[in-house]
Chain A
């Protein structure tokens, strides 16, 4: 392995987390017209963490590369990542195609090979499809260690990482040598605002567009979405007048 850390951060452009998504007319996906898109919040945290790791380990980190797989508009989220301190970036322009996690992982493997990355920091899930699989599949394809749902990351001088994860009633700490995949949870850090001077400088940083056809991969989707429905609205509760009535209602519903 190389004597320096080369970080790769995959980021996805998704429907803004603060908006209420609507099912499209065809009932096979979410309406994307006239909707605001932003960086997947977990990926934002991944970018922040990569930059933080470099800051805390000045001599260890050689480069940070961000990659997005998406439409050409995903350049926006890459620019933001560059402004935050990422050095170089690439966009795998798949247009409006929604790739499945396996296809995404295959592409990321290619990018890892090209970049010679030995640390991949990525979101634990994208909030649009909530699949939560790409990190794990990529670890499988690469045969690397994985530390998922990180709430704290420490990189040691001997190229090992200690990663904490919140579990029921406590914290689980795992240690692994690089190369390694870390997926981020919300409490890992709070992304900062990007200042304008940094945004302006980011315009000059490299952003390479990659044609997925040139990667020589089978990216065919294997799943078919049959139909997408809103969850049924919950029935409103009722008010009871007395304890007796409460008990009899609960009995009626076989709750007691």
Chain B
């Protein structure tokens, strides 16, 4: 069984909703808004090579020749070899508009065997390679630094099979997450991962970065849900463990090596993943709180009272809501009677519950909310009354990432920290930037607009976004290694879920011991002895 998925499935307009959409209910998707903003910015992105002159092109790597191009064309066909400089731009530039590489060729193979042929060739001819998925990496992992060959898996976009009994989905690595999700929805299942970039990122990219996202609290990490992988090693060897065994204790669990490998070991081409049954009832509450301590207290209570139906617990500071409000132009869900502004509460929380019995789940959520409101742990809040409101409430969390780049760019820090100290990092960074005279929301001559914090409380994961008007060196120097030192002092991780990529390559020692780093290097050397896979990054 094999299904061709459309590039984007967004417009499955329900018939009943037609009466409404005709009259233009605000249904505009996040993504159209986001592209509108991104095309606004006329500033060209500086070359990574110029921005980071200390990083030098590895002279061992060969330069692309016409012979190489001719070979590539013979493997994947003329149309799948992109060399036009306008067309290349989208593959060279990252989502944040922070990094820009200089690749002269993008290859878009259509099968695992084509990838195998391509990689074998690149390995033999010492051509460095960057595997690319949806190019939504937030650490500069998905774009070349110099002239590496980009291999995009965009054309590997088929669902291979879905077993309704076991819930096992087998699919190509280039399937867009949102398409996988809509496919599964039709079959009563859910992808065990959800994140703000779902309309663009690929499931292969998710696995290559070991993405965490909004549902980790409920469904756990990809290390648990991925059952098997198909991947091509640099020498062209195809590693295949696309079986559907939940239990298999024969030898090292090799697929784990690829989960979070960020394109440094090989190219993932196929995925076998366990998908839970789709919850039949989902509801969302959105709360305003007086302090960070109350956020923690609410989480403690939610875990205890909501128990098995709790599926997401996200927190956001007020500043992040101000950004989201400017970006979406929507009235804030907790706005007062007569205005649309973000209210004064310093923190907001989004709680999602999902289960199989609406009456039971609603009753549980209601009694939880009553109890936290009564003793004033929570100051104000609302619950979605319908599906449209549910999506709107999620937007106030999901749009922050895109809103953060509204002024021009963003320095993203995605850290794991012990919960009690998690938020203080945002305050200390904002303070530091103010002291140095770099930050002002109003004064547009300052490079930094604000430092905002939000994230997955349930996973001890903070997103610190330093929203900038331009990528100034002095800002980067004020932030790095300062942020990493703070994280290390609290025994946290400098990359909770976004990975290492280019941005954090030199900071990995803040979270990994010398022994661990050596073991990683040994593995890399073993599987990619010539170092052609995604160089200048990771390790």
Contacts and interface: CB of A to CB of B under 8 A. Distances in A.
Contacts of A20: 12, 14-16
A171 to B, nearest CB: 15
Given A17-B17, A41-B20, A186-B25, A197 B334 contact: no
Nearest to A187: B23
A21 B281 contact: no
A125 B380 contact: no
Given A21-B16, A200-B370, A200-B373, A16 B387 contact: yes
Nearest to A200: B370
A15 interface: yes
A196 B386 contact: no
Contacts of A186: 20, 23-25
A4 to B, nearest CB: 23
Contact of B383 (A16, A187, A197, A199): A199
**Chain A CB within 10 Å — which of B331, B335, B387 has the most?**
B387
Contact of A17 (B16, B280, B393): B16
Interface stretch (A31-39, A94-102, A211-219): A31-39
Contacts of B393: 193
Contacts of A196: 285, 287, 369, 373, 378, 380-383
A13 B470 CA distance: 50
Nearest to B373: A196
Contacts, number: 89
B489 interface: no
Contact of B19 (A21, A130, A192): A130
Contact of A41 (B25, B286, B380): B25
B389 interface: yes
A193 B334 contact: yes
A35 to B, nearest CB: 9
Given A16-B387, A41-B25, A195 B381 contact: yes
A113 interface: no
B387 A36 contact: yes
Contacts of B280: 34
Where chain B touches its partner, the secondary structure class is mixed
Interface in B480-496: none
B64 to A, nearest CB: 33
Nearest to A83: B385
Nearest to B385: A80
Nearest to B15: A21
A15 B25 CA distance: 17
Interface residues of A, number: 32
Interface string A1-27: 000000000000011111111000000
> Chain B contact residues (Cβ within 8 angstroms of A): what range?
35 or more
B391 interface: yes
A95 B72 CA distance: 67
A126 to B, nearest CB: 9
Contacts of A192: 331, 335
Contacts of A200: 370, 373
Residue among A18, A19, A34, A128 with max Cβ neighbours from chain B (10 Å): A18
A124 B20 CA distance: 11
Contacts of B29: none
A73 to B, nearest CB: 9
B331 A190 contact: yes
Interface in B210-260: none
A53 to B, nearest CB: 15
Given A186-B23, A187-B23, A200-B370, A194 B17 contact: no
Interface in B54-78: none
Which of the listed residues B17, B26, B358 has the most CB atoms from chain A within 10 Å of its own CB? B17
Contacts of B134: none
A38 B386 contact: yes
B370 to A, nearest CB: 6
Contacts of A176: none
Interface in A61-84: 80
A234 B423 CA distance: 53
A21 B14 contact: yes
A61 B386 CA distance: 29
A68 to B, nearest CB: 14
Contacts of B381: 195-196
A31 to B, nearest CB: 12
A80 B385 CA distance: 8
Contact of A195 (B24, B380, B388): B380
B266 interface: no
Nearest to A196: B381
Nearest to B369: A196
A197 B387 CA distance: 21
Contacts of B373: 196-197, 200
Contacts of B281: 36
Interface string A188-209: 0010111111011000000000
A138 to B, nearest CB: 20
Contacts of A130: 19
A185 interface: yes
A21, A190, A199, A200: residue with the most chain B Cβ atoms closer than 10 Å: A199
B333 interface: yes
A127 B385 CA distance: 16
A71 B163 CA distance: 37
B20 to A, nearest CB: 6
Interface string B280-311: 11000111000000000000000000000000
Interface string A93-130: 00000000000000000000000000000000101101
B387 A19 contact: yes
A178 B385 CA distance: 32
A195 B336 CA distance: 10
A193 B393 CA distance: 10
A19 B282 CA distance: 13
A193 B334 CA distance: 7
B334 A19 contact: no
A38 B25 contact: no
Nearest to B335: A192
A195 B286 CA distance: 9
B19 A193 contact: no
A197 B281 CA distance: 23
Contact of A127 (B17, B331, B333, B370): B17
7 contacts: A17-B20, A18-B388, A18-B391, A36-B386, A41-B388, A195-B382, A196-B287
Interface of B: 12, 14-17, 19-20, 23-26, 280-281, 285-287, 331, 333-335, 337, 358, 369-370, 373, 378, 380-383, 385-389, 391, 393
The 3 closest A-B pairs by CB, nearest first: A38-B386, A18-B387, A20-B14
Interface of A: 14-21, 34, 36, 38-39, 41, 44, 55, 80, 125, 127-128, 130, 185-187, 190, 192-197, 199-200
Given A190-B331, A193-B382, 19 more contacts: A15-B16, A17-B17, A19-B16, A19-B387, A20-B14, A34-B280, A36-B386, A41-B20, A41-B388, A55-B337, A127-B20, A130-B19, A186-B23, A190-B26, A193-B286, A193-B393, A196-B287, A196-B381, A197-B373
